[in-house]
Structure 1
């Protein structure tokens, strides 16, 4: 028996993503035809992001820059009973909507995420993805790369994403864990490995470990964002 149809809103925050947002949104057209809503939230792009997104989304709206701010704006503008937050450089599997519906129905949980595969040439990227997926199963904490989805009532109950410049995904997962463990789906989203390859894969792995540890110990997310962006030593 198939699960009851859900009213899904897919929120895509974007900033200067002209090179990748077309592929991301193209994969969502079947979901749109099946009734899903797609909202792109632009944070002030200086390229053709909005123009590329417009014919492939139900709405393209603008928001102050910042992934948390943009995702919250998209959630407010959406009408779905389930929200899925998708990075603009990430591709959903074709079976995503059905897998999500089955996962929420069978588990009775308030939220969840997909497994991830990182697209790129570096041999360490599959290892990174393996440990991301394993870690989130063990800890109940997901990353934005894993396409977090959540029932609207749960999203509103925890107050949405914290308006912080980094670690907003970790923060909301910690809040949602108080409501339920995540539904960890085996279906894989494919996310770009560009940030690992651009900065150096091993260097980026070590940086993210340091930033996550610092955040867990109470560091200011604004300072961590500066370190992530390379604006501080």
Structure 2
């Protein structure tokens, strides 16, 4: 039993990214036992097999969308705590200790990290404050915060995140129903590629609009089609 991981890290990987190596490096820790589950498509799995370390479990999904990937990873996980990590997001030092320490507070049911975007654009550099305000007002975290929660809480309600998009909204709801959603001050470093390609103002407005539409009852499938209209220069989990 002591060989079981304390934390299962689930990485939805729907497109080739040269940032994955640094993401995986950021998960390394000697402070607790972990497992890394990478959920990907059939074609990418064939490409990754034999390249990634044997310690990483590669799982295939035949459905598109980050939520479906996350659900498959959660069903495979062995650790009592799940951490969902985007393939272009890097964890901070001592991340494992910070996550475990968060759960020493009896009221905490899950949470996420503060965010730093890898960009020198003045507007993008100010986005973390906007993110924090949005999280407080809406009571939800965006997926690039590396959301963590108890496996038993999610598995009991796993169908809620089987969506092509907006799975982070549903994760936040599940956590809030169980207790407190805690924001850690430690920062994950995440890609700003979408802001560069789409334009920072436009991308933020689109994300905000889609989340409001979802809250008003627009389906995740429709929002997914709108969000992933063909664009040049950047791909996403699709």
One fold, TM greater than 0.5? yes
Deviation at 1:51, TM superposition (A): 4.6
Whole-Å Cα distance in 1 between the matches of residues 48 and 176 of structure 2?
34
Q: Does the 8 Å contact 1:21/1:49 carry over to 2?
A: no
- Give the aligned partner of residue 171 of structure 2: 172
Whole-Å Cα distance in 2 between the matches of residues 135 and 52 of structure 1?
41
- Give the aligned partner of residue 73 of structure 1: 72
Deviations 1:25-63 (A, max 9, x none): 0111225x8411111111245598625862174311211
Deviation at 1:138, TM superposition (A): 4.3
- Give the aligned partner of residue 40 of structure 1: 38
- Give the aligned partner of residue 222 of structure 1: 221
- Give the aligned partner of residue 16 of structure 1: 15
* Superposed counterparts of 1:170-209, under 5 Å: 170-209=169-208
- Taking a change above 3 Å as real, the CA distance of residues 177 and 121 of structure 1, as seen in their structure-2 partners, is same
Deviation at 1:157, TM superposition (A): 2.8
Whole-Å Cα distance in 1 between the matches of residues 122 and 212 of structure 2?
25
Q: TM-score, normalization: structure 1?
A: 0.88
Deviation at 1:141, TM superposition (A): 0.6
Whole-Å Cα distance in 2 between the matches of residues 136 and 113 of structure 1?
11
- Give the aligned partner of residue 157 of structure 2: 158
- Taking a change above 3 Å as real, the CA distance of residues 129 and 57 of structure 1, as seen in their structure-2 partners, is farther
Identify which of structures 1 and 2 has the higher relative contact order when contacts are C-alpha pairs closer than 8 Å and 6+ apart. 2
Whole-Å Cα distance in 1 between the matches of residues 59 and 45 of structure 2?
15
Q: What are structure 1's unaligned runs of at least 5 residues?
A: none
Count of residue pairs brought into register by the alignment: 226
- Taking a change above 3 Å as real, the CA distance of residues 47 and 69 of structure 1, as seen in their structure-2 partners, is closer
- Give the aligned partner of residue 92 of structure 1: 91
Deviations 1:138-168 (A, max 9, x none): 4431010100000111112333552222211
Whole-Å Cα distance in 1 between the matches of residues 49 and 125 of structure 2?
33
Q: TM-score, normalization: structure 2?
A: 0.86
Q: Say whether residues 1:55 and 2:46 are aligned partners.
A: no
- Taking a change above 3 Å as real, the CA distance of residues 180 and 34 of structure 1, as seen in their structure-2 partners, is closer
